[in-house]
Structure 1
């Protein structure tokens, strides 16, 4: 199942993000020396870039929806203005027809010659003047309404164009982030496999780590995941039963210590590939296996949520994932079901 804990103008923001991502890694040595630690650092930094880009992407999507609502409101306003102008045109037609029927189009001199009652003529002339003023006012209102309509049509068109530009920029941003991560993950996985095959464990990836950012004593080993093989399940890859809980995540995903503790083992080779074991209070140990890179050394103290490595597919693995175990000794053979254990510590999966 999938974890529920996945976690001023957008065009300039997106374009700035694209420029940052296109500029490549912040430290040129990440990719130049070809070592697993350096490449792991590069992937970790790309994950940080991806996190920022994802936030910008989500902000942009929300802004796009706001812009879409504004554009739709412009369309509604245009419809209202069109209806008003149509109504004004109908009023003008009625006034013109009424003037024609009452002789309003006859010259005043001819009306005076033909009039039987001069007073009646003057009253008619005053009525005509009022009608003429009404026509002039109606024409003025119609012209102003048409000007507003033209302005609103231009504003609506600009809003839709801005929306299309934003969506295109967001799509390009997403494409670049995915492309950079995919390429770096592939290199990291290949170099980690080569390192394990040679029996030479990679050194720790030393980066600025998210110490204390969770505000909790216990956390899940990865932030976003799908649960795959569970504790006690059977399969051809295991001699007996599965001894941990697998988290399906892409290569290079930051792996976190679930709680405070001390690193008692960092090793590579064998069925677990590259692995880290952490000792916690109460006599419990947690294992993080099939890693592509490590971020700690044996003897290090770790805090809840601190990165201990990056996920991979080293050792006896058919695809990228984190194998997570809870034990009562640092060695295999003493594993507990990690799901209820984490749940008791306030971490439901």
Structure 2
């Protein structure tokens, strides 16, 4: 029975551990809704950061939930064992009661006196009767304690599951709220960009504070995370001849960065490319960044590798949010080369 006790004591300990895990506060994912005083471009960047943190926190919560689920399943196994042990205790109680009846434990004392062949036999019978009563009492008390503990453990397990589900729901709701704010801000930014392109004039560089980041190579991709869409030389009704660059499918407001060191030779907000920036690099090549929603540099400005020069959008002749990235021999349209091998030669493979 000592081993039974050890197993029964393990259930409350596991329940306590599970309770501590699910009771951890969700905490603030971002810095709160403090973006009201920021410009729209900076607000979009801040919301991107908040959304990234929210997603990271949500994923951590989901992984914790999987671990807690395994722990809770282990607790369920121990609860099942408790139930089986209670069944054994009840069987023992029944067996003791039956044995007591067979050994005249239920016979009146007068009848025992008449039927006893000697005082010694009567005393032995009374001793057995006393021992049996003690065993019955112990069995009843043990069964009662086990059933009481089982009820408590089942209630704790159910409460832990409810807390876990509530915490995950809160994380999901917080993540969804930030993403909704981000989506609204992105399209507001795009609306302002469309108005500027329609007017044919750029609103000027929007300065966005960028965290310092050390790059190990002289060249980088123009956006940090992306999906490749239309490639160089693609055909279609959207282009007069062939596609002259590599498209990176990214959401509106994604920071666009200079592929390498250079100088901004063109900032334009009209025509088929919508808002665009052209950078001349130290090796003589030019890179173009088109269909932007905002520009964060001025013409003539020097830029470093990885420096933000704008935010992606869908201005100009564009069917959806993306960055059109082009590599040219000159600053003008018509001198483009395939950006994919060009970047690969510089240690930046696309994938």
TM-score (norm 1): 0.85
| Aligned counterpart, 1:176 | 177
Tell me whether 1:17 sits opposite 2:29 in the alignment. Answer: yes
| Counterpart Cα distance in 1 of 2:51 and 2:147 | 48
| Counterpart Cα distance in 2 of 1:220 and 1:202 | 26
| Aligned counterpart, 2:15 | none
Offset at residue 166 of structure 1 (A): 1.7
| Aligned counterpart, 2:236 | 235
Offset at residue 308 of structure 1 (A): 1.7
Offset at residue 327 of structure 1 (A): 2.4
| Counterpart Cα distance in 1 of 2:135 and 2:207 | 81
Q: 1:213 and 1:51, CA in 2 relative to 1: closer, same or farther beyond 3 A?
A: farther
Offset at residue 113 of structure 1 (A): 4.1
User: Per-residue displacement from partner, 1:283-309 (whole Å, max 9, x unpaired)?
Assistant: 333221100001223344434433221
SS of alignment partner, residue 112 of structure 2: helix
Q: 1:338 and 1:121, CA in 2 relative to 1: closer, same or farther beyond 3 A?
A: farther
| Aligned counterpart, 1:45 | 46
Offset at residue 10 of structure 1 (A): 7.2
| Aligned counterpart, 1:5 | none
SS of alignment partner, residue 135 of structure 2: helix
Q: Is the 8 A contact 1:211 1:306 kept in 2?
A: no
State which drifts further: 185-194 or 142-151. 142-151
| Counterpart Cα distance in 1 of 2:244 and 2:175 | 37
Q: Is the 8 A contact 1:246 1:324 kept in 2?
A: yes
| Counterpart Cα distance in 2 of 1:245 and 1:232 | 9
Tell me whether 1:68 sits opposite 2:80 in the alignment. Answer: no
Q: Is the 8 A contact 1:243 1:336 kept in 2?
A: yes
Show the 5 A alignment for 1:327-342: 327-342=328-343
Q: Which has the higher contact order (CA 8 A, sep 6+)?
A: 1
| Counterpart Cα distance in 1 of 2:257 and 2:234 | 24
| Counterpart Cα distance in 1 of 2:34 and 2:177 | 11
Cα root mean square deviation, aligned:
2.5
User: Per-residue displacement from partner, 1:25-71 (whole Å, max 9, x unpaired)?
Assistant: 1x52x3xxxxxxx3212211211221221222212222222332333
Q: Is the 8 A contact 2:340 2:350 kept in 1?
A: yes
TM-score (norm 2): 0.85
| Aligned counterpart, 1:212 | 213
Aligned length: 331
| Aligned counterpart, 2:290 | 289
Question: After TM superposition, which residue ranges in structure 1, 4 or more long, deviate above 4 angstroms?
Answer: 8-13, 107-110, 213-217
Q: 1:51 and 1:216, CA in 2 relative to 1: closer, same or farther beyond 3 A?
A: farther
